[in-house]
């Protein structure tokens, strides 16, 4: 997908503030509102913009615990990988699931209200899941950088 300088500016601005009005966005990129809106709609239609979300504060909303779990499976056959991914999708506290290459098959980002709740997720939902060989976990102590999205630079 070929993006010009204005498209990249639009993406960067919306990534930083998805609630920005079209009028403000147009002003910031040097366009009038109608062509700016057309560009935003085109970026949405091509999939460059997948959606708009509010960034919530997990601790404020009762999820102060964040854990990363490294999961190894007994089998890496596609049907087994898909079955694990489908299982993980049913657990709301698992917020991210990434398949990796190497010794670890998946890394999961899990949020929990407390350590007991995390232990319940681990022992009730994760370790007994079909095809799971091992789960290694690391509790997050502090987050020094959290920057959702991607770097959107000029051409």
Task: For residue 1, name the pLDDT band (cuts at 50, 70, 90).
Answer: confident
pTM over 0.75: yes
Task: For residue 122, name the pLDDT band (cuts at 50, 70, 90).
Answer: very high
Of 28, 10, 38, nearest in space to 154 by CA: 10
Task: For residue 153, name the pLDDT band (cuts at 50, 70, 90).
Answer: confident
Query: Would the pLDDT of 155 be above 60?
Result: no
Contact between 129 and 81 (Cβ < 8 Å)? no
Question: What six digits make up the tokens of 3?
Answer: 């993006």
pLDDT tens for 90-116 read 999 999 999 999 999 999 999 999 999
DSSP string covering 32-57, please?
-HHHHHHHHHHHHHTTSS----PPP-
- CB neighbour class for 108 (10 Å; exposed up to 12, middle 13-18, buried from 19): buried
| Mean residue pLDDT across the chain | 95
């Amino acid at each position: 997908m070929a993006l010009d300088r204005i498209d990249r500016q639009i993406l960067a601005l919306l990534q930083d503030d998805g609630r920005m009005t079209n009028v403000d966005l147009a002003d910031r990129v040097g366009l009038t509102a109608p062509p700016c809106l057309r560009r935003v709609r085109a970026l949405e239609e091509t999939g460059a913009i997948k959606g708009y979300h509010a960034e919530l504060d997990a601790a404020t909303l009762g999820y102060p615990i964040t854990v990363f779990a490294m999961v190894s499976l007994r089998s890496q056959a596609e049907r087994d990988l898909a079955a694990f991914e489908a299982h993980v999708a049913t657990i709301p506290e698992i917020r991210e699931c990434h398949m990796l290459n190497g010794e670890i098959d998946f890394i999961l980002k899990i949020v929990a209200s407390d350590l007991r709740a995390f232990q319940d997720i681990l022992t009730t939902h994760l370790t007994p899941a079909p095809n799971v060989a091992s789960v290694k976990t690391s509790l997050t102590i502090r987050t020094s950088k959290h920057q959702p999205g991607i770097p959107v630079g000029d051409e």
